Structure 1
């Protein structure tokens, strides 16, 4: 999921009526009982995160996950298939081993960035800092100093403690001093990068062309032990991300003239162009099979860890909801689809492809429910700019147990999402698609795109609540005798520009990723 903040219009907090005020619905009671007494979430999470692992588009693990999902759905009596929407640069992560060998010996904590070139044999070289220069012309004169060297291109952090840790234990004077020093350091570092004439994306390639044998980065996530792990931009030499602690140590050694030397093994493989898929599971409708409800979650992840909360938990919610619905509501009035989208992380590519390739489904979409911001229980539901969204979402939410619905703040009519996650692909096409937004659980600092996004971060009680919520919403949307309205609200002024907001435009996917 991209870290995109949604703009919300001013609205009134609404609480939905409790379940006990409604007439007993046996299907809903069965949904809740099945979710609580026969949950498959823990096993599904183990299979997806521990056994298969990360799901970077273009990797063997991504294809393995698609095949596993199809097989799992078929085991529940649900038809499913992998639908190809494009091709992507194929890449397979191998062993990464990084050792400090001078001035002392120590194995370091780090990994290749995604799609980083591998090493045919171990790279052994001195580590140097990014050369200083007054401007780009001066940098062109000194860049040759990196030839044969490993180059550190990220700012070292002056503290490895998160701000909330400082706030808890430091004196106010010490905390404010640290923040001021860090701001001064950050501004100086930004100027240093600007003076090279390059930016964070093209600087590594410039150093590669100048003869560097490897790039070393740090992308700290402002949490203990947490780094963001994204992709490399080098073509022939490895790009390695080190932990904050080891990056800082090596940086200080180089800065103090101790000439640290590293030995790097990075056994990744290039696999050429490989197919990219969405996994689509379907429970066919009986009365209105040409109208649709979609349960939406992206299937891919970055591969710094195993993608547990981004978006393993969203995937588990939709799979578990489908399993429960098939068992407790096997003959829905409308067709219910689970969409497990590929390559969300590179620009909503799977869902954008689906929207473009399946106009009849988009045109006849009753509702889409998307979950993609961590393991927490759902606490926010917006109307997404659809003027009458409260009329139908309100009807459906009345059936949700108060212990779940009572946690949820609502925003109607809200404003449409321009990006952020896959529901935005459908919103741009004018289809009623909604984000089930979760409580944080320190998502942005500790698990979003980090090396710590692993099975142990899943809060299964919250995920179970989300599966119940999703299954009930899908059931009620299917049973509703009315079609949902697509009438759009008049959008408010953009606070930044002062101009009236406009509805987002549909965009096609990148269908040949990383292959140019």
Structure 2
């Protein structure tokens, strides 16, 4: 009896396993022919690496007001036209024209050493090499004492950033230090940061106004170290001086100069930074269009900013977003010849200075904003998309949910959604459209170290791109765009009731005016 029961059990088990094997696995869900064709195109005919080389290696960083930014506009227009997509540069303003040159910074005393340094964006050039003694910002009792010290800085090169006792990142200290040593070092790091903030405050200036005061006092140059907390990574933003150069120095070399200065070792450095002031130049967005065959006045918009800071190549901010949207529209043009709604690709200028290109577009094209079915924006690195918020639109869960159902489960299953969410107030270009009441959504990516390692840093380079992740994002975006275009319903724009936060009534974000004459005042 027991043997018979066992045989029946084994037979049933084998039968159930055979039945399971004959069923399609979850990863092989029934996809639409369009989705299957997108997956095949992206995986077997990707243009991502070729475009990345042309944009990031060939043109390089794309700071607003530089020739490289306009080259990127021209390149993206030509690329779209080569695929049969109508495209143009649309001017939205003017900017202070500038072009980066070489940076040579050398310690010349008490010994010779080439320093790891670069000029900040829009930094004045040196007509001839500038050299001088290195001094540090003093720890004064108040503005009167600091103003007396200012009289001593003529011809000096002033270090105005916090000294870092260690250039090791927190995560490495946590990995190797004993718990009590970790706690000690973290306390020192926090105390040092607070003490430096007080040092700045007692001067009577801020980090924004201090450079101008030093320039007026006759300093030869200003040096900072905008360290991110990751080894080798510094953020490179813009200079606040008009006549003297401002340079950023790596945390290691900045620390060397700082210690030498406070220990009386008399460091001197020579600065030779070459850049060009190009006067007033035009600023553009790149706009590409595949006109809708049934509803040409309703729009699916693929959005990313084309500009970048220029400490490196701007690869993950926002080269990868730009590449994602270019590859997406290439795929749509090839595989979706009868698009119901008009598909736009909008590559924005001057996002980094305050969403200026997209804010200008919203102001200049109310008829398009009125007809937006959806806008998808991608702008936070090379990682696969893992989060979509409803941006405060009450019914966004309905249509985004429908569209996501058409996406392969191995992609969509990793995406967390939050509905209705809160409306974005900034951060990237989708917020310009949310403020205008249009359904615009950020396709937010997995970090891959974005915040500390590549965001606005000297390490935002081609080699940090993970192309398999970007391909994932193209597949997702192309299918979402197709589903949005084909959807028989126009997306609902009803806004959520805004909550009370910390006792204050929150409000839907207001539309903001773009900067159309940047850096010209």
Measured against the shorter chain, the TM-score band is: over 0.9
Instruction: Give yes or no for the alignment of 1:322 onto 2:329.
Output: yes
- CA shift for structure 1 position 238: 0.1
CA contact (8 A) 2:317 2:455 kept: yes
Indicate the residue corresponding to 2:493 in structure 1: 486
CA contact (8 A) 2:305 2:322 kept: yes
Indicate the residue corresponding to 2:65 in structure 1: 58
CA distance in 2 between counterparts of 1:481 and 1:180 reads: 58
- CA shift for structure 1 position 354: 0.3
CA contact (8 A) 1:18 1:398 kept: no
Instruction: Give yes or no for the alignment of 1:331 onto 2:338.
Output: yes
Secondary structure of 2:151's counterpart equals helix
Give 2:505's match in structure 1, choosing from 492, 500, 504: 500
Give deviations 1:18-37, integer Å, cap 9, x for gaps.
78555x42222111110110
Indicate the residue corresponding to 2:276 in structure 1: 269
TM-score with structure 1 setting the length: 0.95
CA contact (8 A) 1:19 1:400 kept: no
Indicate the residue corresponding to 2:112 in structure 1: 105
Secondary structure of 2:426's counterpart equals coil
Of 311-320 and 500-509, the range deviating more from structure 2: 500-509
Give 2:415's match in structure 1, choosing from 404, 408, 433: 408
CA contact (8 A) 2:27 2:410 kept: no
Query: What are the residue-to-residue correspondences of 1:116-265 with 2, within 5 Å?
Result: 116-265=123-272
Which ranges of 4 or more aligned residues in structure 1 deviate by more than 3 Å?
A: 17-22
CA contact (8 A) 1:148 1:212 kept: yes
CA distance in 1 between counterparts of 2:219 and 2:134 reads: 10
Gaps of 5+ in 1: 1-16
Secondary structure of 1:504's counterpart equals coil
Q: Residues 132 and 21 of structure 1: is their aligned pair in 2 closer, same or farther, counting only changes over 3 Å?
A: closer
Q: Residues 249 and 348 of structure 1: is their aligned pair in 2 closer, same or farther, counting only changes over 3 Å?
A: same
Indicate the residue corresponding to 1:511 in structure 2: 516
Give deviations 1:481-501, integer Å, cap 9, x for gaps.
11000001112232xx32232
Please report the RMSD computed on the Cα atoms of aligned residues, expressed in angstroms.
1.1
CA distance in 1 between counterparts of 2:168 and 2:383 reads: 24
CA distance in 1 between counterparts of 2:520 and 2:266 reads: 38
Give 1:464's match in structure 2, choosing from 464, 468, 471: 471
Give 1:441's match in structure 2, choosing from 448, 463, 471: 448
Give deviations 1:63-85, integer Å, cap 9, x for gaps.
00000001111111111100000
Indicate the residue corresponding to 2:11 in structure 1: none
Indicate the residue corresponding to 1:364 in structure 2: 371
Indicate the residue corresponding to 1:86 in structure 2: 93
Instruction: Give yes or no for the alignment of 1:30 onto 2:40.
Output: no
Give 2:406's match in structure 1, choosing from 383, 399, 405: 399
Indicate the residue corresponding to 1:9 in structure 2: none
Indicate the residue corresponding to 1:382 in structure 2: 389
Give deviations 1:261-305, integer Å, cap 9, x for gaps.
111111011111100000001111100011000000011000000
CA distance in 1 between counterparts of 2:262 and 2:290 reads: 62
Secondary structure of 1:267's counterpart equals strand
Secondary structure of 1:295's counterpart equals strand
Bigger RCO of structures 1 and 2 (CA < 8 A, at least 6 apart):
1
Secondary structure of 2:228's counterpart equals strand
CA distance in 1 between counterparts of 2:481 and 2:506 reads: 30
CA contact (8 A) 1:385 1:413 kept: yes
CA distance in 2 between counterparts of 1:393 and 1:187 reads: 45
CA distance in 2 between counterparts of 1:499 and 1:18 reads: 46
Secondary structure of 2:496's counterpart equals coil
Give deviations 1:464-486, integer Å, cap 9, x for gaps.
00011111111010001110000
Secondary structure of 1:259's counterpart equals coil
CA distance in 2 between counterparts of 1:305 and 1:441 reads: 17
CA distance in 2 between counterparts of 1:174 and 1:91 reads: 47
CA distance in 2 between counterparts of 1:425 and 1:290 reads: 20
State how many pairs are aligned. Answer: 497
Secondary structure of 2:504's counterpart equals coil
Q: Residues 19 and 384 of structure 1: is their aligned pair in 2 closer, same or farther, counting only changes over 3 Å?
A: farther
CA distance in 1 between counterparts of 2:324 and 2:383 reads: 11
Give deviations 1:204-257, integer Å, cap 9, x for gaps.
110010010000001100111000111110010000000000000011111111
